[in-house]
Amino acid sequence: MPPPLPSWTAAVGSTLHQTVAEWCKRAGIQLIWSQEDLDYPIEAPLKFQGTFSQAIDQIFPLYDGAKRSFLVDGNTSSQGILYVSERKK
C-alpha cells in the first residue's frame, strides 16, 4: 500500500502569504513574494492532499477572481524556488 499523500492546510485567521511561506519552509523551497501588500486572509479552513506543487496549484486559483490575483512561477523541483507576483490585468 502506498504511503498516504502529504496534507497541506491553511488555518482560518492566517493569511495566504503566511500559509504559503509555512508550506515552503516545510518543503525546503525558497519563497520570493514580490508584492508585500498583496495578501488575503484565510476565511475558511483549507486542506489539500498531494505534493507541495499540487497544493500550490490548487490554492492560488481560489484567488483568480480577486481584485488582485497572482502569477505563480518557479521551478520548485529543480531550483527549489517559488516566485509569487501580481498578475497584471
Over residues 43-50, the mean pLDDT reads: 96
Q: What is the mean pLDDT of the chain?
A: 94
Mean pLDDT of 49-57: 95
> Nearest 5°: phi and psi at 22?
-65, -45
Predicted pLDDT at 1: 84
Report which DSSP code applies to 52. Answer: H
Residue 69 is predicted with a pLDDT of 95
pLDDT of residue 76: 74
Residue range 38-67: average pLDDT? 96
Look at residue 68 and tell me whether its pLDDT is greater than 90.
yes
pLDDT at position 48 over 80: yes
Cell numbers at 21, concatenated: 511561506
CATH assignment, 7-86: 3.55.50.30
Q: Give the percent of the chain with pLDDT over 70.
A: 99
